[in-house]
Amino acid sequence: MSINLFGIYLLSFFSKKYKQKYYTLKYRNLIYNCSSSAIFQGKLQITDYKQLHIGREVKIGSNITFKSEGGIYIANYTNLSSNQILETYN
């Protein structure tokens, strides 16, 4: 199986640096109460975008699930590593 030049281009385009930029822009626009200095490194699962509040200089890893029906507040200068589940319910 060979990879053509377009396939190599796609692999290089979606390197770690570009994935981080892509997910950061995506989730900053989706989350209503998100600081402009928050960094997202990968895919997230969020049940309620309106109940999720993210502070300044927050760094969030990949594959995190936010079940935020009861409200989740992430304080300033917080780092969340990958593969976590945060849940709140009323």
For the chain, the structural domain boundaries read 16-88
Q: What is the model's pLDDT at position 22?
A: 87
CA distance 24 to 5: 28
Helix ranges (DSSP H) in 2-72: 5-13, 16-30
Identify the three-state secondary structure at position 76: coil
**Residue 39: both structure tokens together:** 């960094």
pLDDT in tens, 47-86: 999 999 999 999 999 999 999 999 999 999 999 999 999 9
Tell me phi and psi for residue 52, to 5 degrees: -105, 125
User: 30 phi and psi, to 5 degrees?
Assistant: -80, -35
4-55 confidence digits (pLDDT tens): 666 656 656 667 678 888 899 999 999 999 999 999 998 999 999 999 999 9
**pLDDT score of 1 more than 50:** no
- In this predicted structure, the answer to whether residue 3 has a pLDDT above a threshold of 60 is no
Which pair of structure tokens corresponds to residue 11? 């692999």
pLDDT for residue 8: 59
